[in-house]
Structure 1
């Protein structure tokens, strides 16, 4: 990799993308338009299909392929999905010959084995050294290491700066950095710590092509890093003790000082919004989408601490272009400093 050339790491060769910039498979938010835009711009995108019906998954896969010939993946979450539905989801992905699958939460060795047998590459998002080792042992081709500062569901308790180099030392497969990455400078920092790329959620939620509701996008753009908080109160629809990072709202304010220690059964099913005819409850994991109506303010407004540097809603291609240009400038600046000191 050189400062003046195209950024490239072995991860790019593995996935078939030009830049080592991955778009997170955010549930509901990451649909065909966003994934295709990321792929066309040289990055690598994942459809966020957690608990979605197989018919929708097939439609979204076809939607990506109608927009681009570049490779992409699908994000599924075995631990948060009924086993029967997961089997059907995987079957659709295999039938459609999806190039890769990204899994998250507890390492499911059977899901990895099924994907590998079907010829899919597997990336596993993890939150600890132990999980990274388990993912590698299960046959994953790469691990995505998520730091505590990440938005959405957060698996571990260490920051990216601390966790990333430990995982790099612990496994032999490519490592991707996630949580706190939305700029070229942060891409260079991740590479310096041994990663082969970055995995971005918040930065791509706030793009024109994402399926997030405009209200959610504007809250991300307006938020400071300190406006996010870590809580497990958004518990409905996920396994117990599954913390998330969200932008503070009136619902989180109602919790007072107690942000953790909640379970799905602690909350009544009180409908506050609806999405395509489906009721959305207070304290559910649902975030507001373009198709959502109702009291959007009390829904889960996912965002990582990096929201503090995401100040505009832009096309996905512009976001990737900015990251790449900043990374090249940063590498040149570091090279110049080394030359001045040499």
Structure 2
């Protein structure tokens, strides 16, 4: 049997067929999307950033009921209250979760805690320094995130450049994140010697995504040039945390002053709600299925690869299309 050119050692480590990882998008990567990715052969991540342990438990149970494939739970230690983080991790461990996906600042003590419990750790990094620190802390997989990424962006390097540098200095599997939307992007990563890719925006605009239809539609009509990197949407996150979003009325009002915003001085103005929970202007909250209010003024996360996302389709279909295109791209090289 001919070996699938897409099957990398990362697939064996994660227990998936394809080296395509679902980004742990907070609020968006709920059980339905994670299950669709896992069932289609990719590697699923539940986006549980700052969520109540009760919700985490219900999402894990729903995901397990929908698929028997492996998955990780994504948490952001440095952007989460320590007491809540402790409760989140304990909830996951009590439910037998065996893989975590972390992002932002590397926190060795947290990594040590879950590794001591026998868990695998994937860590997304934006710099070589963070990659080195994460590897020394004992993580199992490095995800090199480029500045092209949607949502929170930790570094300022182009993704492929960073990933190649991380690969050159690390013995760990390395996946590329940031602007990955097509099979050609996947093929490029594999030809560069990387082990896989992680996709966010491409799977946000799918049927199973928990993002609001308004957000999905804005992604399908946007191009990479319509996205802006700014730290204006910083409420709920550490000062200086940058995000890539689709331009809207909030970014237009900044008049080009995209950086230098202090969460301590930003107004707390409710512009939308999820049930009774207010969503503030300048917060990192994006519009979800349950959100009502001024959706246009919320953080509409999208990466620079959004120009290749033209429609809203089932997540499995998008993943399979990426895989088929990548195989075609790699075929001449592998013959």
TM-score of the two chains, using structure 2 as the length reference: 0.98
**Structure 2 residue aligned with 1:288:** 287
Q: Distance in 2 between matches of 1:111 and 1:335?
A: 41
After the TM superposition, which parts of structure 1 deviate over 3 Å for at least 4 consecutive aligned residues?
333-336
CA positional deviation for 1:268: 1.1
Are the aligned partners of 1:164 and 1:193 in contact in 2 as well (CA < 8 Å)? no
Q: Distance in 2 between matches of 1:48 and 1:276?
A: 20
Q: Give unmatched runs, 5+ long, in structure 1.
A: 337-342
CA deviation profile, 1:237-294 (whole Å, cap 9, x unmatched): 0000000000000110000010000111121111100012100110000000000000
Are the aligned partners of 2:5 and 2:330 in contact in 1 as well (CA < 8 Å)? no
**Structure 1 residue aligned with 2:7:** 8
CA positional deviation for 1:335: 4.2
Correspondence list, 1:47-58, <5 A: 47-58=46-57
**Structure 2 residue aligned with 1:266:** 265
Residues 1:18 and 2:14 aligned together? no
**Structure 2 residue aligned with 1:96:** 95
**Structure 2 residue aligned with 1:339:** none
CA deviation profile, 1:171-202 (whole Å, cap 9, x unmatched): 11110100021111111111122210000000
Q: Distance in 2 between matches of 1:276 and 1:96?
A: 27
Q: Give unmatched runs, 5+ long, in structure 2.
A: none
**Structure 1 residue aligned with 2:41:** 42
Q: Distance in 2 between matches of 1:9 and 1:30?
A: 24
Residues 1:212 and 2:211 aligned together? yes
CA positional deviation for 1:6: 5.9
Q: Distance in 2 between matches of 1:276 and 1:142?
A: 37
CA deviation profile, 1:35-65 (whole Å, cap 9, x unmatched): 0110000001111111000000000000100
CA deviation profile, 1:88-141 (whole Å, cap 9, x unmatched): 000011111113100000001011111111111100000011100100000000
Q: Distance in 1 between matches of 2:56 and 2:4?
A: 37
**Structure 2 residue aligned with 1:67:** 66
Q: Distance in 1 between matches of 2:145 and 2:126?
A: 5
Are the aligned partners of 2:160 and 2:176 in contact in 1 as well (CA < 8 Å)? no
Correspondence list, 1:104-143, <5 A: 104-143=103-142
Q: Distance in 1 between matches of 2:238 and 2:86?
A: 18
SS of the residue 1:42 aligns to: coil
Q: Distance in 1 between matches of 2:17 and 2:32?
A: 19
Q: Distance in 2 between matches of 1:85 and 1:284?
A: 19
Are the aligned partners of 1:154 and 1:243 in contact in 2 as well (CA < 8 Å)? yes
Correspondence list, 1:174-193, <5 A: 174-193=173-192
**Structure 2 residue aligned with 1:152:** 151
SS of the residue 2:237 aligns to: coil
Are the aligned partners of 1:154 and 1:242 in contact in 2 as well (CA < 8 Å)? yes
